[in-house]
Amino acid sequence: MFSRGKSRAGVVLPICLGAGVLLITGCTPTLIVSTQATDPKPAVSITANPQGGSGVDPDTQVMIEAELGRLTEVSVLGPGGEVPGILSEDGSRWTAIDSALDYSATYTISAQAADARGRVNTMDASFSTLEPEKFFTAVLSPSAGEIVGVGEPIVVNFNKKVDNKAEVEAALVVRTGQPVFGAWAWRDSRTVEFRPKDLWPGDMNVEVDLNLMGVQAKPGVFGEANTTDSFSFRPSMVSVVDANTHTMNVYKAGQLLRVIPVTTGKPGFETRSGTKVLLTKERSRIMDAATGGTSLEDPDYYRVNAEYAMRLSYSGEFVHAAPWSTGAQGSANVSHGCIGMSTTNGEWWWNQNEIGDVVIVENTPLIQGDDGNGLTVWNAKWDEWLAKSFTGPRLTQPITTVAPQHDSFEFKALGSANNS
């Protein structure tokens, strides 16, 4: 196509707007054709990671890139079919969104890209992943489908010692119905726990992703599988016991339900102060001091049938009905370490609470630490908790996150040289 313009002398000259350039030599125009317009070789190139080979780490994130152009087609096929991925806004990069590849598997890559003039280049490649000789597994608590109280931490127990704690911890994802600020912390080389800075919000669903495929607990020991389990927190139940006022304030979802007269441990048998989590729930239980080493001849020996009993510690602290101490309830501490109340109050409180609910004891001379005598994680100060974490504090991720599927992306081919 041509347009018409004027020279400085007023002579009308042809001006080429196409791929060539017109030069005036004397009176005869000469057409010089751009080499870029006629060069059949595409300017765009395609690279992939991994490009090929065997023994590829399953934790490798597959990526395909186009240089000097944009991708128009991408297909990555593995033993499970098409690998989903996402295309960058400029079309230059495709990234797999799977957290890990399968072990001992072959993947094929097919990609096509076009440059700015619509010329197409293609790439085909394949690679295979390594076959581990050793695996490690994990068990989550609370278990799938459980409904627990707001005192329950999330606990992951591994069947083998974990040396690469930072890598393993980074592969654990907590999703909640509302954002919660918390952190993982290692209790030992096989146990890691997640808790918020404060107690969990109640009445909330939780999902935990253990993305362990491709992750090494120590060199050569790989996570066997990726798993996701879900559980729920029931509405918050927190009971606050004051050993000075001999009362228990019972709160549900932050609202005070009842103030109950109680008795706690007498001198020499003081109930430990701290935040405790209910471990068991029994309609009745024989309390025998001999299990704690008290001889039958000791004046402090006892054997009683305690109704409406819920355990606070492995060493024997319970909340239960104690009709034998009703005269002291609300006025004195006379128990051997348990929190006692009337049978009427004991039955009501037992019916309100479930495993995982919280009892906070205040104003006793003994202080409960994060010593493992029960679920004592809430007694660790926040900075102490973070000192045992390798990835630090974080907000939980949304529980509704859904990864986009590969076939939801639309590749847009560029036009030809005629309309570029």
Q: Which amino acids are annotated catalytic?
A: 320, 338
CA of residue 143 relative to chain centroid, distance: 15
Q: Find residue 158's DSSP bridge partners.
A: 138
Tokens of 34: 């751009």
User: Sheet harboring 134-136: ordered strands across?
Assistant: 134-136, 221-223, 216-218
User: Do 156 and 173 meet the contact criterion of CB atoms below 8 Å apart?
Assistant: no
Candidates 275, 243, 273, 286; CA nearest to 261 is: 243
DSSP 265: B
The DSSP result for 381-414, as a single string, is -HHHHHTT-SS--EEPEETT--PPPGGG------
Q: What is the DSSP string of 170-231?
A: HTEEEEESS--EEEEEEEETTEEEEEESSPPPSSEEEEEEEE-BT-EEETTEEE--EEEEEE
- For 268, the token pair is 């020499």
Question: For residue 394, which of 141, 179, 155 has the smallest C-alpha distance?
Answer: 179
Query: Is 416 in a helix, a strand, or coil?
Result: coil
Q: How far is CA 116 from the centre of its chain?
A: 42
Q: Are 4 and 15 in contact (CB under 8 A)?
A: yes
Helix (H, G, I), strand (E, B) or coil at 153: coil
Query: Do β-strands 397-398 and 303-311 pair in parallel, antiparallel, or remain unpaired?
Result: unpaired
